[in-house]
Amino acid sequence: MFSSGMDPPQEPSGLAGITLVPTRFVWPYGGKRVFLTGSFTRWSEHLPMSPVEGCPTVFQAICSLTPGLHEYKFYVDGEWRHDERQPCATGSYGIVNTLFLTRAPDPVPAILSPGTPGSRMNMDVDNEAFQHVEATHRISETDIQISRHRISLFLSTHTAYDLLPESGKVIALDVNLPVKQAFHILYEQGIPVAPLWDFYRGQFVGVLSALDFILILRELGSHGSNLTEEELETHTISAWKEGKQLLDRQMDGHARPCERHLIHAGPYDSLKDVALKILQNEVATVPIIHSSSQDGSFPQLLHLASLSGILKCICRHFKYSSSSLPVLQLPVCTIPLGTWVPKIGDPNGRPLEMLRPNASLSSALSLLVKARVSSIPIVDDNDSLLDTYSRSDITALAKDRAYAYIRLEEMSVHQALQLGQDANSPYGIFNGQRCQMCLRSDPLQKVMERLANPGVRRVVIVEAGSKRVEGIISLSDVFRFLLG
């Protein structure tokens, strides 16, 4: 969008007789290198901002500006940002801050320092030492409906065939495979889910996921003894699925078991239908299966469709026409999206589940199941983000057969995460940035682009500088909002 280099500021010319107003700009959200640019620098020059003495997370710069309307943004550690607490507008450069100066110059406030009366040397300086005006973003129902209509039209006119990669492999497991062997296969292949093939029936009958392993380990661990390879060896996938159906069988009005069929889609089903199947059935993936015969025999497994793959199609299609989707430039904090830490005194606030690193693995697994979430932020005593524990992390217990000798209630979440942080893990399954983070002021488009990356299923919203967790936005949250 802009040049990332820093050009030396030019002296203003042709301003004889015009009063310049000294104006202080403040970036109170931390960073290593912060620059200021705007209409007053012709959007080409980057003015360095200096940290305030005693307040290393607050940066400031003083510029002499002509009276009138100005637009500006901040360049923080290689990313363009705006301050959501200052007046904003959407212009040629996305969301920008705006400033209107009158002809009468206002005195520049004194620069805060530890010796200044009333100054504070803590992370709260952005909230108290500098008073900000709340951002003026307003959600237009018309903009939302226009965006939803265009996305719905795109998804309805494109099919699951668009999700198929040019090359790749899809792994399926025999339903009579021992659970232990299936556990190791998922770990070694770096995948959290696999369709199940029944050789005798000649069809795909289900899916084995990380949640299955969580439930299996909790079930075996409930007997109070260490998990053994022998116990896992005696459980076939088929036996586990049958036992699970007995445990949580759904009953209809006639008290008869309600059999669940495999949720799948065909290559010519619309992307909207695939997304709705994932959302309505609360699954992570839907197998794309094709059969050339009318009776469905000899099915071919083509792909595992996920919301991230569909979101990637949306981002790619609207990449150069994002202005046709007005909601993309809205800060995520202004959209009814995701789960947020409840405000003090809010009786209707839905709690955001978090855990400390010393919490037991047993409590983490129980929370994943009971809260029906796929990931839990791991935070320190200040609620600052350290890591996340996700359902898919359970496969790390296959490393060195850890499941055979650990006790779920004795192993901490931190220890469980360390199992998966070996740089030599096959396929780099646990390598790379585990925690995808954004700020509450970031536009929806940025969050969507993060979620469109393979393997990313949620973005944690953190406070700049402190990384204090403020909320979490998942793929399903985004699609429920976009599809209305």
Q: Look up the CATH number of the domain holding residue 335.
A: 3.10.580.10
Assign 376 to helix, strand or coil: strand
Q: Is residue 149 part of a domain?
A: no
Point out the domain boundary residue: 309, 332, 361: 309
Print burial letters for 126-135: b (CB count within 10 Å at least 16), e (below 16).
beebbeeeeb
Cα Dmax for the chain:
91
Task: Please indicate, yes or no, whether residues 350 and 443 belong to a single structural domain of this protein.
Answer: yes
- Structure tokens, 312: 């990637």
Point out the domain boundary residue: 261, 281, 309: 309
* Stated pTM of the model: 0.69
pLDDT category of residue 425 using cuts at 50, 70 and 90: very low
Task: Please indicate, yes or no, whether residues 283 and 352 belong to a single structural domain of this protein.
Answer: no
Task: Please indicate, yes or no, whether residues 254 and 332 belong to a single structural domain of this protein.
Answer: no
Task: Please indicate, yes or no, whether residues 474 and 329 belong to a single structural domain of this protein.
Answer: yes
Q: Is residue 78 part of a domain?
A: yes
Q: Is residue 113 part of a domain?
A: yes
Answer whether residue 426 shows pLDDT above 50: no
Q: How far is CA 281 from CA 175, 264, 275, 276, 285, in A?
A: 22, 11, 10, 8, 10
Q: Counting runs of H as helices and runs of E as strands, what totals does the chain give?
A: 12, 20
Q: Is residue 187 part of a domain?
A: yes
Task: Please indicate, yes or no, whether residues 341 and 446 belong to a single structural domain of this protein.
Answer: yes
Neighbours of 269 (CB within 10 A): 17
- Collect all residues with Cβ–Cβ distance below 8 Å to 100 and sequence separation of at least 6: 68, 69, 70
Q: Is residue 1 part of a domain?
A: no
Distance, CA of 483 to CA of 463 (rounded, Å): 28
pLDDT tens digits, residue range 108-151?
443 343 333 333 223 333 333 333 333 445 567 888 899 999 99
pLDDT tens digits, residue range 363-380?
999 999 988 888 999 999
pLDDT (0 to 100) of residue 228: 58
Task: Please indicate, yes or no, whether residues 244 and 343 belong to a single structural domain of this protein.
Answer: no
- Collect all residues with Cβ–Cβ distance below 8 Å to 59 and sequence separation of at least 6: 26, 27, 28, 31, 34, 49, 50, 51, 52
Q: Is 293 exposed, middle or buried (0-12, 13-18, 19+ CB in 10 A)?
A: exposed
Distance, CA of 479 to CA of 473 (rounded, Å): 11
- Structural domain containing residue 186: 160-309
Mean pLDDT for the chain overall: 80
Task: Please indicate, yes or no, whether residues 187 and 99 belong to a single structural domain of this protein.
Answer: no
Task: Please indicate, yes or no, whether residues 166 and 236 belong to a single structural domain of this protein.
Answer: yes
Average pLDDT over residues 446-461: 91
Q: Is residue 151 part of a domain?
A: no
Task: Please indicate, yes or no, whether residues 60 and 197 belong to a single structural domain of this protein.
Answer: no
Average pLDDT over residues 152-172: 91
What's the domain count of the chain? 3
* DSSP letter, residue 19: P
pLDDT (0 to 100) of residue 249: 59
The CATH number assigned to the domain holding 36 equals 2.60.40.10
pLDDT (0 to 100) of residue 3: 41
Q: Is residue 2 part of a domain?
A: no
pLDDT tens digits, residue range 8-37?
344 444 444 567 888 889 888 888 899 999
Distance, CA of 57 to CA of 63 (rounded, Å): 20
197 touches 205 (CB < 8 A): yes
Residues in the chain: 484
Q: Is residue 366 part of a domain?
A: yes
Task: Please indicate, yes or no, whether residues 183 and 299 belong to a single structural domain of this protein.
Answer: yes
Half-sphere exposure of 381 (CA within 13 A, CB side): 0
pLDDT (0 to 100) of residue 292: 80
- Structure tokens, 116: 């200044």
